[in-house]
Amino acid sequence: MVNVFFFHGAYGNGEENWLPWLKEQLESVGCVVYVPRFPTPEGQSLDGWMKVFRRFEESVDSDTIFVSHSIGCAFALDVIEQLKTRIRAAYLVAPFISDLPDPKGEVNHINKTFYKKKFDWHAIKDKCQEFHAIASDNDPYVPAKEAEKVSKPLGVELAIIEGAGHFNKKAGYTQFPQLLDMIEDTLTTNKGD
């Protein structure tokens, strides 16, 4: 039995975009999927999200997989850095760890606590067996060059999906078969530990 955690993005929740579909697919192959609901946009901060996550952290073990979207990716990295155990894999969809183009002033002020720090990349890489970073070539919020600021220090190739926008419903992402295929590869590959 593999425990999978979903970390949604700002202004989001676990009942939108491709998350419900992916949850159903993973549960059908025996995974237990946790979908914490984090406060956003009101009350959105790293401390606020960590308080929510602490109710679930006893379910994290060496087979655990994290699946995150947008600011949820920075949160996943924050969590991984602090874990006491090593997890199996982390999938980072539209990841970023710095201010984004924000002409309306809607996101940087609620996202900054997640990345206005120095990440310990050595500790992060030591606490997770495999990382996967995924970006779009036309994301209106997270340019691919921002996602590279995550993939490069992790030492992984950034997977670029053409025309995926921000991987949300507006971009047609109510399902995400490419991500499911990647996770299924992880589930069927022998563990390296």
Q: Is the pLDDT of residue 193 over 80?
A: no
- Which CATH number does the domain 3-188 belong to among 3.90.1170.30, 3.40.50.1820, 3.40.109.10, 3.40.50.1970? 3.40.50.1820
SS3 at position 137 = coil
Q: Answer positive or negative: Cα dihedral of 144, 63, 22, 75.
A: negative
Q: What is the model's pTM?
A: 0.96
Calpha distance 28→13 (Å, rounded): 21
Position 23 confidence tier, pLDDT thresholds 50, 70, 90: very high
Position 100 confidence tier, pLDDT thresholds 50, 70, 90: very high
Q: What is the mean pLDDT of the chain?
A: 96
Q: For residue 191, what pLDDT is reported?
A: 56
**Residue ranges per domain, the chain?**
3-188
Closest by CA to 52, choosing from 23, 74, 75, 32, is: 75
CB 18 within 8 A of CB 5: no
